Structure 1
Amino acid sequence: MAIPGATTLSDETAGRVPPALRGILPVLIAVPLVVLADVLLNTSPFATYLLSVVGVNIILAVSLNIVNGMTGQFSIGHAGFMAVGAYIAGVTSLELKEVALSFLPVAASDQVLFTVALLAGGTCAALCGFLVGLPSLRLRGDYLAIVTLGFGEIIRVVVQNTEAFGRALGLSGIPQYSSVAMVYFWVFLVVLVARRIAGSSHGRSLWAIREDEVAAEAMGVDTTGYKVRAFVISSFFAGIAGGLFAHFVPIINPGSFTFVKSMEIVVMVVLGGLGSSTGAIVAAIFLTLLPEGLRSLFGALGAGGSLAQKVDQIRMPVYGILLVVLMLARPQGLFGTKELWDVLPRWLPRKKKGLT
């Protein structure tokens, strides 16, 4: 039993960090780590591609968790915002392809232009999120899901019939600026933003809306305003994920942003636990690497290339089976509303001071 006023090791550690550094400390730690990872993986194109896909899916899952998990809404059109970010960022990069910032080295100039393209894609996706969210977030439950699903399909049809976006054949020639370091820097940012929101007064308002929207509104919470803000933030990071995706694949086409992609992201959020950022991360990593694991397994069993090539076709049935089993065994998801560090002490007890 803890003595009132006792100091734990974590409290002491936090106290030793100067207040001026607490806000920037995560950035100072994350940047060298992602650069080191990029350098170590630069010799393996497949590892770079696979880790980039994992990172993009983490961004999508964590950003959707802000709406579906923290706010308790049900959006199934996240791939639509990803598509907006991908195409706007791709077109922006193509327009800026011949631009060179003479006062910077070529590599640095490319990354600056890449960042501009990403922010353009994220901003356009956030604007779409605002335009869709402002009227539709007055709706609840299944009605909101139908609206977001319709938005995703509208974006797909518009892209298919717009010549500037390559129509159904896809948009090619986008500069391959993306890297593992850039992808995971944005992974770090979306996780940081999600955690800061969850621990803020805005986050408490979102949790209140999730638990009981009528009671939250009765207590003076601007439910529509908070839901729209959450939707805009989520859409912004979905657009960033789309922009990153567009810059490490040879070609993007509407088939990459269908309803199936939206459902993949929803499955990641539900599997990890609605409201758990680390749960979304774990689920995104697992479900992204699962097809590659199945391919390796079929190859090791001598199943041949034909069966291994069908992994993508059986992926959604496997996801469906996982969801059924999960809903029967653990309806709240792997972590529920808790984070990984809330669960670990059960397995790895931490020694604390000031305990009797």
Structure 2
Amino acid sequence: MSTATKKPARPMRGVGDALRAWWGGLSRPAQWAVGIPAILVLAILPLFPPPLLDTPGTSFGGVMAQFAMYALLAIGLNVVVGQAGLLDLGYVGFYAVGAYSVGLLTSPDSPWNQVGHGFLTTKWAWLACVPLAILLTAVSGLILGSPTLRLRGDYLAIVTLGFGEIVRHLADNLGEITNGSLGLSRIAYPRLGESPQHPEGYFSGSNLGKSDSWNLLDRANSGTWWFWLGMALVVAVLLLVGNLERSRVGRAWVAIREDEDAAEIMGVPTFKFKLWAFTIGAAIGGLSGALYAGQVQFINPTGFNVINSMLFLCAVVIGGQGNKLGVIVGAFLIVYLPNRFMSVQVGGQSLGDYKYLFFGVTLVVLMIFRPQGLFPVRQKLLAAGRQVYRAVHRPGAQAATAPTGGAR
């Protein structure tokens, strides 16, 4: 008497899994055909914010500008944590190096100010400092990673956490250079669109925009302009990181993340590729720091504490480690939700002030029920391997390959 075989229960699929499967099923041209209109819709969103998405009490354009900056940070940290599997708790240190690279070269409060009387002109000072900030943070990542990336797990996390705190304390104690806790003000920003209507340009904080104008350039405030610039940088970085993922470098990162010992036995030079991930992630963090310095035009050490580093890591974990689009969603949630609920009062206290409590509870719940994040990464090589396995072990395939009886 034969017994019916039961198929194993399929795991529960969430919205993130369905979206990921739909996106992964599209061809490359189809992904571009969907992605470009989506980016255009996202670009005009700050100009005509829907009532349900608008942030009462604060500029929606400014919130979206902060989101673009956090998206860059999340992508850079995802290279280190999500792709290579290196636990970095001091990523805010690279963010600070990028911001102070721009501030020290362009702020009148700095003895190293080069605007006007140095090699930087007033109009192009910020743009000229961005490559320098990227280079300096990449070098700092190389210097930090060279002696420390032989460590693993908790030991590496403690070292990187110490690096972030060292950078913050240096900025606080080197008063003659960094102006200490008073910070650096009047940092340079892009001088684009200077006119009688906008004497300091589109990117100046004095540009409040004209909400009643149908000219999109005049309607956009400074936050919207910074959001557009940030999204352009996000797209450029996504293209770079996406190409790396599909290359030999990306496959080596996946191997290191899954099992570093096995990868090394199979001939992968793990230290070299970990150093690549650390350096690339640091450079992207420096780019975001330069964006932050130009946007707020003021930096001080309190903006680079360990709490911010935890928020960056929270965006990666919530969105889905290793998934580029997932960590962008995580960055949006980290930035948008506190600003959205800032106007909601509970017991005389703004609900947005409880953001650390809410994100902490969210992380605990995610680790219990969905540790892979909202949008888990899809390993295409493993998925292709499963498809081959199923094709070989289909009942029809087994019947076709079974020996047939005959006369001998």
The reply to whether TM is greater than 0.5 is: yes
The CA deviation string for residues 230-288 of structure 1, in whole angstroms up to 9 with x for no partner, is 10010001011011101111421111111101100111111111111111000100111
Residue 332 of structure 1: which of 372, 377, 391 is its match? Answer: 372
Partner of 1:346: none
- SS of match in other structure, 1:248: helix
Q: Which has the higher helix share?
A: 1
Unaligned runs of 5+ in 1: 1-8, 15-21, 340-356
Q: TM-score, normalised by structure 2?
A: 0.68
Q: 2: distance between equivalents of 1:261 and 1:12?
A: 36
Q: 1: distance between equivalents of 2:119 and 2:46?
A: 24
Is residue 145 from structure 1 mapped to residue 157 from structure 2 by the alignment?
A: yes
Residue 97 of structure 1: which of 99, 105, 115 is its match? Answer: 115
- Pair 113,321 (structure 1): closer, same or farther in 2 beyond 3 Å: same
User: Runs ≥4 in structure 1, deviation > 6 angstroms?
Assistant: 99-102
The one-letter code sitting in structure 1 at the alignment partner of 2:152 is R
Deviation larger for 86-95 or 254-263: 86-95
The CA deviation string for residues 147-200 of structure 1, in whole angstroms up to 9 with x for no partner, is 100100110110001222120111111124352222222111222222112111
Q: 2: distance between equivalents of 1:271 and 1:35?
A: 21
Partner of 1:83: 96
- SS of match in other structure, 2:366: helix
Q: 2: distance between equivalents of 1:37 and 1:101?
A: 37
Q: 1: distance between equivalents of 2:232 and 2:280?
A: 17
- Pair 97,174 (structure 1): closer, same or farther in 2 beyond 3 Å: same
Q: 1: distance between equivalents of 2:61 and 2:172?
A: 29
Do 1:168 and 1:253's aligned partners in 2 also have CA atoms closer than 8 Å?
A: yes
- Pair 35,247 (structure 1): closer, same or farther in 2 beyond 3 Å: farther
Partner of 1:131: 143
The one-letter code sitting in structure 2 at the alignment partner of 1:276 is N
Partner of 1:19: none
Partner of 1:266: 313
Do 2:66 and 2:227's aligned partners in 1 also have CA atoms closer than 8 Å?
A: no
Do 2:340 and 2:352's aligned partners in 1 also have CA atoms closer than 8 Å?
A: no
Q: 2: distance between equivalents of 1:204 and 1:288?
A: 31
- SS of match in other structure, 1:130: helix
- Pair 39,75 (structure 1): closer, same or farther in 2 beyond 3 Å: closer
Q: 2: distance between equivalents of 1:34 and 1:191?
A: 18
The one-letter code sitting in structure 2 at the alignment partner of 1:78 is Y
Partner of 2:61: 48
Higher Rg = 2
Partner of 1:296: 343
Do 1:38 and 1:180's aligned partners in 2 also have CA atoms closer than 8 Å?
A: no
1:1-356 alignment, distance < 5 Å: 13=29, 33=40, 37=44, 40=47, 46-94=59-107, 95-98=113-116, 110=123, 112-162=124-174, 163-177=176-190, 179-298=226-345, 304=348, 307-308=349-350, 311-312=352-353, 314-338=354-378
The CA deviation string for residues 274-327 of structure 1, in whole angstroms up to 9 with x for no partner, is 1111110001001111111221333xx7x65xx12x733x22121110100111
Q: 1: distance between equivalents of 2:65 and 2:87?
A: 27
Q: Percent identity?
A: 36
| Alignment RMSD (CA, Å) | 3.2
Shift of 1:93: 2.6
Q: 2: distance between equivalents of 1:36 and 1:190?
A: 17
The one-letter code sitting in structure 2 at the alignment partner of 1:165 is T
Q: 1: distance between equivalents of 2:41 and 2:164?
A: 32
Q: TM-score, normalised by structure 1?
A: 0.78
Do 1:34 and 1:184's aligned partners in 2 also have CA atoms closer than 8 Å?
A: no
- SS of match in other structure, 2:378: coil
Unaligned runs of 5+ in 2: 1-24, 49-54, 108-112, 191-202, 204-225, 380-408
Q: 2: distance between equivalents of 1:269 and 1:84?
A: 21
Q: 1: distance between equivalents of 2:337 and 2:28?
A: 41
Do 2:85 and 2:256's aligned partners in 1 also have CA atoms closer than 8 Å?
A: yes
Do 1:34 and 1:185's aligned partners in 2 also have CA atoms closer than 8 Å?
A: no
Q: 2: distance between equivalents of 1:197 and 1:136?
A: 23
